[in-house]
Structure 1
Amino acid sequence: MTGHKRSGAKHHARNPHLEKRPSLTHFLCIPLVNSASITQLEKSLASFKEDYPFISSSGLPERRGQSSNDHVSRPLIPEGAIRPLGTLHLTLGVMSLPNRDRLDEAISFFKSLNLDELLREAERVALQKQAKSHNKYRSNRTKNATEDPPQFSQNSIQPLTASLESLHAIPRAKAATVLHASPVDSTARLYPFCLMLRDKFIEAGFITGDSKEKEEKSKKNDEASERQTKTADEPASPRHDEPDQSNTSTISDPYTAALARTPKIRPLLLHATILNTIYVRGRLKSAQGPSHTHQKRKNVQKRIEIDARGLLDRYKNYFTDNTRTTPRVLDSQSSSPRRKESPAQNDEQPRPKTDSSEVMNASARTEPQFPFIWAKDIPIDSVCICEMGAKRLPDQGLDAETLDLNKRLGEKYVVVAQRAILDSSS
């Protein structure tokens, strides 16, 4: 009997699922709040809160009992889920730096990187892919069409800018816990730059990945997220604010060369989190566990899920035309903009399943889409290493200007290292 117990103990000790993973302490990111974007983001968040008022967590239903038409009703957004203005950023990867020595190593490595050269390489990737796509398009129209690839500038390089557009859900639209906006870069350099920078940190052993178990569990969501990111970063059409729907089959993403390498970690999804239900206080307690072995989890707070299908539909096709000045009419009983529908298409018919990878329903895919813009032309001029866990900014004992800014930002992450992407001399 004793021998069996010892054998079981050894097996228990070797169980990889019971091994404690190192706690995450820092993350690599690109900040999005600066003098050019703060007012735009502030107005956009205020507009979002006005259109979709919060409800207290106590007013949320304990279980989702949704009918097939629930997606047309307004989503129940709990108070506290919207992220403070000062926390908006693009995460490139998370790190476990538990002591000062390890943190110093990461900062030293960060300072050793040539960010200028990474951006130049990102431009090479973008230009080569654009040339390949354009030549392929021309060759489909005329057999003898040839074109020299665009010339890469060895001297000056233009600073990065991006716009935050639309709204997407994680893990899926019908049961979302995170809503986020996508960065759109008309030069298609942002994604390969971020990907190559993250790879540097992975190769140096600083950025950590998900466990094998978690990777398998989230594989489908990752694939959907990657397709979504590619859509967001596709090269712009001649009219930068109006996607060319007719040529989407011939225009592919500009960073395929960067993605062609064997992935070392899950696909990178560049996103700015607008809403995350993990921050809601007084979240619902989880119901009974799937088996008696999970009784200890009875008191664990449950992540709140939001049916955001109608909300996403609205923000992915927010304006009536490419001037993006006139919002579509929002139905008083729905979170979706009104659209003309054929007689055979109505809410009584069963709808296909939707998730974060879907852009619009089938009836709207052939129409031009004009998504909501949270902020446009945001300078992407620095990269930071920050501490996990945003801190509330002080609201007293400060000069009037600082106090006002702190109230607007609400919270911020502590920056332990920051670098400009382009050196001032370049």
Structure 2
Amino acid sequence: MPPKKPIPTHFLCIPLVTAHSRPQLAASLSAFRSDVTSPVPLGFGLAEDAIRPLGTLHLTLGIFSFPRGGEEDGEARLARAREVLAGLKLREIWKGVRGNVPRMPGSDAEVGEEEEERPKITLRGLTSMQAPTQAAVLYAPPVDQLGLLQAFCERVRDVFREAEVMVDEGRPLLLHATVVNTVYVKNKREWNNGKAGNTGSSKRGRGGRGGGKWERLVFDATGIMDRYEDQVWMEDVPVEKVAICRMGAKKVVVDGEEDEAYEVEAEVEF
């Protein structure tokens, strides 16, 4: 039998919700939620719980598997990952990435000191993980014309790979901030009855523990993607930290508002 796939328990990420970004993201996500959950034809009829909560927004850099019990001690491996994170020199990594990019004449005068010291993130547009007509996950990609953010994130990820504490997913790193994910929709019957813009449907398969059945809800996202093609969700937000978070967002209250967020196991600041 082929070896079992590691069970994801934690992930490495750049948290996107900061004091600087929260007002931008809160306004963008609130307007988006109001629009896409409104009934057709003005909106798209998506379920409220398909829209990800503000506090969950992040860029995933890699996945960890630290299960408790079994042949390997998950707690010991998590402790090792914390050590690797604590040893990261984010400014040095960023400086090395920037040093590999040729400078255009006169560019020094246009680059601020803060941007020299850390990357800034702008999220623009909306893209589907799947074919747009059979979408289950929509995400906002970061603007990265020179590939600096991608290179920085790959170098950070590679430190954990070299330490052999990160799962090798066997695919390139895709930086994305998930905005819509139908896996969180609770009322699947309502979805399948055509409430999702009259395009809601499901795909069945087998998987998971014990080979049980799973159901993925899909919808036609072409209209939403067209409408939000140039949407700026947040702009020029400095990266503040890199964190190891536990899978499974928890309910929290921020400034009197209900939200969700991932439990932070450890973090390192710029």
Asked if Structure 1 and Structure 2 have the same fold, meaning a TM-score greater than 0.5 normalized by the shorter chain, the answer is: yes
Whole-angstrom CA distance in 1 between matches of 2:18 and 2:188 = 32
Amino acid in the other structure paired with 2:131: R
Q: By how many angstroms is 1:195 displaced?
A: 1.0
Q: By how many angstroms is 1:272 displaced?
A: 0.4
Deviation string for 1:154-201 (max 9, x for gaps)? x99433211111100011211111111011257752211101111111
1:412 aligned to which of 248, 252, 261: 261
Q: By how many angstroms is 1:102 displaced?
A: 1.1
Task: Flag the 1:124–1:307 CA change in 2: closer, same or farther, 3 A.
Answer: same
Aligned-partner SS, 1:46:
helix
Whole-angstrom CA distance in 1 between matches of 2:121 and 2:203 = 42
Amino acid in the other structure paired with 1:311: I
Residue aligning to 1:42: 26
- How do residues 185-200 of structure 1 correspond to structure 2 at under 5 angstroms? 185=144, 188-200=147-159
Residue aligning to 2:129: 170
Q: By how many angstroms is 1:312 displaced?
A: 0.7
Unaligned runs of 5+ in 1: 1-14, 56-71, 132-146, 211-264, 291-295, 317-370, 394-402, 422-426
Residue aligning to 2:86: 111
Note if 1:384 corresponds to 2:234.
no
- Structure in which a larger fraction of residues adopt strand: 2
Q: Is the 8 A contact 2:205 2:214 kept in 1?
A: no
Aligned-partner SS, 2:164:
coil
Note if 1:308 corresponds to 2:221.
yes
Q: Is the 8 A contact 1:26 1:388 kept in 2?
A: yes
Note if 1:29 corresponds to 2:29.
no
Residue aligning to 1:213: none
Unaligned runs of 5+ in 2: 68-73, 193-201
Aligned-partner SS, 1:281:
coil
Whole-angstrom CA distance in 1 between matches of 2:204 and 2:118 = 53
Q: By how many angstroms is 1:32 displaced?
A: 0.5
Note if 1:181 corresponds to 2:165.
no
Amino acid in the other structure paired with 1:201: F
Note if 1:83 corresponds to 2:52.
yes
Aligned-partner SS, 2:235:
strand
1:100 aligned to which of 57, 75, 85: 75
Q: Is the 8 A contact 1:81 1:278 kept in 2?
A: yes
1:270 aligned to which of 143, 163, 175: 175
- CA-based RMSD: 3.1
Task: Flag the 1:92–1:267 CA change in 2: closer, same or farther, 3 A.
Answer: same
Whole-angstrom CA distance in 2 between matches of 1:378 and 1:191 = 16
More deviation, 188-197/32-41: 188-197
Q: By how many angstroms is 1:79 displaced?
A: 2.8
Whole-angstrom CA distance in 2 between matches of 1:375 and 1:114 = 26
Q: By how many angstroms is 1:267 displaced?
A: 1.0
- How do residues 340-359 of structure 1 correspond to structure 2 at under 5 angstroms? none
In the comparison of the two structures, how many residue pairs are matched? 246
Q: Is the 8 A contact 2:125 2:141 kept in 1?
A: yes
Amino acid in the other structure paired with 2:228: Y
Whole-angstrom CA distance in 2 between matches of 1:287 and 1:191 = 32
Aligned-partner SS, 1:183:
coil
Amino acid in the other structure paired with 1:383: V
Amino acid in the other structure paired with 2:247: M
- How do residues 236-385 of structure 1 correspond to structure 2 at under 5 angstroms? 265-283=170-188, 300-316=213-229, 371-385=230-244
Q: By how many angstroms is 1:54 displaced?
A: 5.5
Give the alignment's TM-score, normalised by structure 1: 0.52
Larger Cα-atom Rg = 1
Q: Is the 8 A contact 2:33 2:48 kept in 1?
A: no
Q: By how many angstroms is 1:289 displaced?
A: 6.3
Aligned-partner SS, 1:311:
helix
Q: Is the 8 A contact 1:83 1:274 kept in 2?
A: yes
Amino acid in the other structure paired with 1:302: E
Amino acid in the other structure paired with 1:377: D
Q: Is the 8 A contact 2:242 2:269 kept in 1?
A: yes
More deviation, 73-82/164-173: 73-82
Whole-angstrom CA distance in 2 between matches of 1:406 and 1:386 = 23
Whole-angstrom CA distance in 1 between matches of 2:249 and 2:59 = 14
Q: By how many angstroms is 1:93 displaced?
A: 0.5
Whole-angstrom CA distance in 1 between matches of 2:58 and 2:35 = 23
Whole-angstrom CA distance in 1 between matches of 2:125 and 2:205 = 36
Whole-angstrom CA distance in 2 between matches of 1:406 and 1:93 = 32
Whole-angstrom CA distance in 2 between matches of 1:288 and 1:166 = 29
Amino acid in the other structure paired with 1:159: R
